[in-house]
Amino acid sequence: MSTPHGIRSGEVTAVEHGDTLDVRTQPHGKDVVYVEFEKNDPRNPFSFSKSKKWAILLMACFSTLLVGLSNASYNMGFPSMIPELGCTQLQATAGLSLFALGFGLVPLVSASLSEEFGRQPLYVISAIGFALMFLMEALGNNIETILIARFVQGCFASTGSTMVGGTVADIFEPPERGLPMSVFACISLGSTGLGPAFAGWVEMNPRLRWRWIPWILLIISGVYALLVPVVLRETRSEVLLSRIAARKRKETGDNRYRTRADNERPPLRSLLKTSVTRSVRLLLTEPIVLFLSLWVGFAWGVMYVMMESISDVFEQLHGFNQGEVGLVFLATTVGPVLGLACNFVQERLYEKYSPMRGVEARLYQAIAGAWLAPIAMFIYAWTAYTSVNWIAQAIAIALFMWATFTIFVSSFVYTADCYGIFASSALAGNGLLRNLMGMAFPLFTHQMYDNLGYQWANTMFAFIAMAMVPIPVVLFKYGPRIRAHSPFCQVVMAQEARQSASAKYLTSDAERGAAWDEKGGTTHAKHDVPENK
């Protein structure tokens, strides 16, 4: 193959049917034809139209909406479910904890699977499996069946929800990701209030009761499962390029057609092992990951406790029926909406101060949220009297969910910016601890309120939240120094320096989005931190 003028010998770039073919001489004289997208190639996810990008994003976010509907509506059916199945309150509550457990474990491996097989197949499988578990719940005749269904459903739910961040990285350039990620977080947290809003009235209807809650959700999730293959196209660049290369090998009989990811990606078994071990290692050895995970995990656990307590508080103190209690849950939706509105202020602050502060400019909102969380808990604690109007506690719920939104979003984007190509592993570790705490907290909710009362139990949470206020403050002030001592962050900073020096080291458009990608971009052995020293 001849070398065009201006191209070094051994490296040829040509365009054929919309593909950029990079022919590079390998050792022993063997050529490899690297297939890449050309500029503005319509098949490149970054080149999708705005309408297509937002259609994909909203369809992906709908999976998180279904998760919120399912998780928060489950305990609204307890009044009729517990006597019908002959189980205890603790056994029924275990369904919340097992859902959170499944939700926390699967992301440790799902990122590797999406890198190997693409995002669309996992979205489709998770949507179908998630819907089928509602059928199992609706037909279950004992608590064991319900608990198994809840755990498996949590596993399927996590696959869809945890890939949304990677989908955002696939289709939006880094400067465009603030709004999509805020929309995702708003839907993820805000949806928790929508399920009880309808489930409470379903439970009150003697012709429907608890079984119709999963039946209704089965209908909604079934429609979603049918739409996923149509709307949610594959967005992972490496997978799309691999398919193009495979087609060219078949059409031409020339086995030189490859992608860089094909050559550099380790076997799936190795990917899975690294995905799990690196996530745990980051969680245990990296101060940024550990303390942010503890902070977010605590907020997550308190959120679960609060949702578990709303029924008791508003029924016992204010005389609400099950339907009216369900409407109180709408306050959990108001908080994230307020957070989304205020996130525009955070984005402007980041734009203004990031040249001076670097990635720590992501933490302005987190510092405000750190103070808002204990304030909200104190209000929720000391307005828990029959003499105080119920609206005060509803406001406290909204404020706490606002704080949780800011803590979640700020921690997510700050971790992603700090850990770059290792972001998915860091966030998987964060998600594991977050969901483990979400699993554990509801198990002692009723015992805690029985022993301490609503006032002092929630005050205890408020004091713990106050003890965590320094976390974002310390990171804001000393973050650069902490990152300088991190072997993972050092690799990321070195890689960013190389990429800034010369664009030729960028192997794909997707790698430019590695900081937000679920696997942090294509796996590169030369960029990896040794797992054993």
Average pLDDT over residues 292-297: 94
Look up residue 151 and give its two tokens.
Answer: 């755990």
Q: Give the model's confidence band at 513: pLDDT under 50 very low, under 70 low, under 90 confident, else very high.
A: very low
User: What secondary structure, in 3-state letters, does 25-89 show?
Assistant: ECHHHCEEEEEEECCCCCCCHHHCCHHHHHHHHHHHHHHHHHHHHHHHHHHHHHHHHHHHHCCCH
Coil, strand or helix at 438: helix
Contact 59, 228 (CB under 8 A): yes
Report the alpha-carbon distance of residue 96 to residue 300 in Å, rounded: 13
- The amino acid present at 370, given as its one-letter code, is A
Count helices and strands (H / E) in the chain. 23, 4
Q: Give the model's confidence band at 3: pLDDT under 50 very low, under 70 low, under 90 confident, else very high.
A: very low
Average pLDDT over residues 378-384: 95
Residue 467 — φ and ψ, nearest 5°?
-65, -20
- The amino acid present at 296, given as its one-letter code, is V
- The amino acid present at 11, given as its one-letter code, is E
Report the alpha-carbon distance of residue 384 to residue 382 in Å, rounded: 5
Place of tokens 């745990």: 280
The pLDDT value recorded for residue 516 is 40
User: Does residue 13 surpass a pLDDT of 90?
Assistant: no
- Helix ranges (DSSP H) in 358-422: 364-382, 390-419
- Helix ranges (DSSP H) in 253-329: 260-264, 268-285, 287-316, 322-328
pLDDT above 70 coverage of the chain, percent: 85
Between the alpha carbon of residue 297 and those of residues 90, 232, 360, the distances in Å are: 22, 30, 21
37: which strand partners?
19
Domains of the chain by range and CATH? 11-41+237-264 (no CATH), 45-234+269-484 (1.20.1250.20)
Look up residue 391 and give its two tokens.
Answer: 């609206």
Please give the order of strands across the beta sheet that includes 11-16.
11-16, 19-25, 31-37, 257-258
Torsion sign across C-alpha atoms 158, 521, 483, 272: positive
Task: Note the pLDDT tens digit of each residue in 408-462.
Answer: 989 988 988 888 777 777 888 888 898 888 888 888 888 888 899 999 999 999 9
The residue with greater pLDDT, 76 or 420, is 76
Average pLDDT over residues 295-305: 92
The pLDDT value recorded for residue 514 is 42
Report the alpha-carbon distance of residue 237 to residue 261 in Å, rounded: 10
Average pLDDT, rounded, for the chain:
83
Q: Give the model's confidence band at 517: pLDDT under 50 very low, under 70 low, under 90 confident, else very high.
A: very low
Average pLDDT over residues 483-493: 87
User: Does residue 100 surpass a pLDDT of 50?
Assistant: yes
Task: Note the pLDDT tens digit of each residue in 384-407.
Answer: 999 999 999 999 999 999 999 999
Contact 167, 111 (CB under 8 A): no
Q: Give the model's confidence band at 499: pLDDT under 50 very low, under 70 low, under 90 confident, else very high.
A: low
The pLDDT value recorded for residue 354 is 87
Q: Give the model's confidence band at 270: pLDDT under 50 very low, under 70 low, under 90 confident, else very high.
A: confident
Could you give the maximum distance between any two Cα atoms of the chain, in Å? 87
The residue with greater pLDDT, 356 or 22, is 356
126 sits in the region (left: phi over 0; alpha: psi -120 to 50; else beta) called alpha
The pLDDT value recorded for residue 530 is 40
The residue with greater pLDDT, 17 or 342, is 342
Report the alpha-carbon distance of residue 264 to residue 117 in Å, rounded: 16
The pLDDT value recorded for residue 388 is 94
The pLDDT value recorded for residue 5 is 35
Torsion sign across C-alpha atoms 71, 412, 364, 292: positive
User: Does residue 284 surpass a pLDDT of 80?
Assistant: yes
Measuring CA to CA, which residue among 168, 472, 74, 445 is closest to residue 296? 472
Report the alpha-carbon distance of residue 361 to residue 384 in Å, rounded: 37
pTM: 0.78
Q: How many residues does the chain have?
A: 533
Look up residue 268 and give its two tokens.
Answer: 């799936």
Task: Note the pLDDT tens digit of each residue in 324-366.
Answer: 998 999 999 999 999 998 888 988 998 899 889 988 998 999 9
Q: How far apart are the first and last CA of the chain?
A: 45
The pLDDT value recorded for residue 115 is 67
Q: Give the model's confidence band at 263: pLDDT under 50 very low, under 70 low, under 90 confident, else very high.
A: low
Task: Note the pLDDT tens digit of each residue in 26-51.
Answer: 443 457 788 888 878 888 888 899 99
The residue with greater pLDDT, 22 or 258, is 258
Contact 178, 128 (CB under 8 A): no
